[in-house]
Structure 1
Amino acid sequence: MTMKTLLASATLALGMTTGVQAQDDTTTVGFVYVGPVGDGGWTYEHDQGRLAVEEHFGDAVDTVFVESVPEGPDAERVMTQMALQGADLIFTTSFGYMDQTIAVAEQFPDVKFEHATGYKTADNVSVYSARFYEGRAVQGHIAGQMTESNIIGYIASFPIPEVIRGINSAYIHAKEVNPDVEFKIIWAYTWFDPAKEAEAATVLIEQGADVILQHTDSTAPQAAAQAAGNVVTFGQASDMAEFGPFPRVSSIIDNWAPYYIARTQAVIDGTWETTNTWDGIAPGMVEIGEITDAVPAEIKASAEAMIAAMETGDYHPFTGPLNKQDGSAWLAEGEVADDGTLAGMDFYVEGLTAEIPQ
């Protein structure tokens, strides 16, 4: 296996001289990462998927990647360079790469593109994401019962539907088991910045939070909670088990490997088509990391029952009755949210007191 790794920063992408043009019978698959492969979270799990592609296909596939690519013009340059150097399939793995993916795909109609968490498609652009909100429901269920201060802190990245959806799901399920619970939200405006993430966690703990949830990619909030003492955390995107059994008591794990293998196979077979994939716990794209013994047995059992119900399709985290933050009716008793509303979610549910930044 020849694995040509592009370790250049995004700003140096245009100057890369390492060729990635594979032999004629080899498929080249590229990955564009918003963070470093060692972030311990989001990018780490995407790179585990890349490594799974290598293991599965052996010498039939070469993989290349560029890490820590900012969302914006740098991303377009990196994607263009990958396409020029012979990539057959390119995975662009952050929401903010959406417009750049579409722009580059238009220039290279014979290259297939897969954009994570976006919604814009083209003849050679597919989109894919995971139903992270299912994992947030489990986290909220546990968090609401483990907090003693009734204050749960949430480190949010950017005010996009994916993040808002997660906040709502966690809050609904925390509130369900603890009517006195309150959410304090800090917007970090970054996916990966350990210093900012640690600072946000520290501020939330100073404000009384004894549970921290995060939709950012580093393990810095875990370390901050560990240093603070009696603060519960949950791994984000990856298991972050090195902080278990406490403060990290469970996690959401993104399992991209089966999808990456299947889409690579489709390119090899010539059967690749534009698709829109949104999978969750049942298909295995979202996994729940071990719930540690730091969680009381009865809480662990009820969380596992919720996971099982989502696996069978018997439970949906957004099931009415639910109102919007302003008190207006949203979902009636027993009514389940449709995917269109969830995909474009731009409102909080009733009970959350924060405002969504514009």
Structure 2
Amino acid sequence: MVTVTGLSLFPNSTITELLLVDDWGVVLVNGTFWNMAASAESYLVDIAEIPKEQFFVLLRGQDGTGAVFQRLSPTMISSSSLKITAQDQEVVRSGEEFNVTFTLRLDGPPSTYNLTVRDDHKFTHGIRNSRVTVGGNVTVDGMAHFFVPNGTRPGTSITITIEALSPDTGDFNYEMMQLTVMEQVVDLISPNCTITHLVKPCPFHPGTNCSAETWQLGALLSDLGTGIVRVYSRLGNGTLETREVEMNMTAANYSASCCFPEVELIAVDGAGNVGKCSVGVGLPSPPQTSPTPQTSPSPQTSPKPRRLPPSRRLPPSRRLPPSRRLPPFRRLPPFRRLPAPRILPDSAPSPASSEPRKTSGADSS
């Protein structure tokens, strides 16, 4: 946004160009004006890319008489390669500590930065890392600590500034954020959400597009503590209308296409407690044609095993008649004992000694 002080004093004045030029007047970037002015002296300008070189802002236009004028910024501006992004945080409470987290990202070679954090009420208690090295498209996280003393007036605005300076390259950048101190209230009860009516004419007809059908929802949201401060919808893509019917009670009407059959109505009270209603009317589905019944063959039961007849008992063995019986064994006579052998006297020569005995010459003496 560009503001030209005093432009409203000259009726029918127009701004025609906004240029970023270097110290020689060479145009670096040509800005594009939006069709609508933000106010009588402010214009919205789109800058496609901030140049890396130092530059001035040059503004040209015509006054009501058709005379051309131009304005040049008194200081030269330089872009930073470091980007600082702080988390979104809107309110804090007196008597509480809180932290602010932020990230640093550098497009370029690594460089070391010194970090400082300050605020306009001296609530800062320190920073986790006061010296970091950033580079190579790697994000570095940081955290600053604060404490809001008891008795701080509700509605007090706190402006926090996070600064980063590289002693090596001289690159500098900063991030600012504002917080508001709220009254210390103990409210632990979430808002209540009650569905009052639900109209869901979303039947599926052959050849009907789901976007041609809509459904509607009515709900009543209430809170017994700090009161509802915000109501919004999630998941769906419909239209939400709210109105306050009485103190701490809000009526909500929601309508959407049948292509978006689900929604969550979220209610937030002043203490940050959240209540919700979840509703789904079901996705339309094409009609299911009942399949023609097919007679499945009955399961073939295996035949029961046939019981065999009891085994026929064989007839008892026939006994042979007595006439065909074998005769009994014949008993043999006992052995006859032989007489004892006779013993011959010693003088009688034995049959083996009747032959003359042969002697060797070694036996003769």
**TM-score normalised by L of structure 1:** 0.20
Q: Which has the higher helix share?
A: 1
TM-score if structure 2 supplies the norm length? 0.20
**Which structure is higher in strand share?**
2
Q: Which has the higher contact order (CA 8 A, sep 6+)?
A: 1
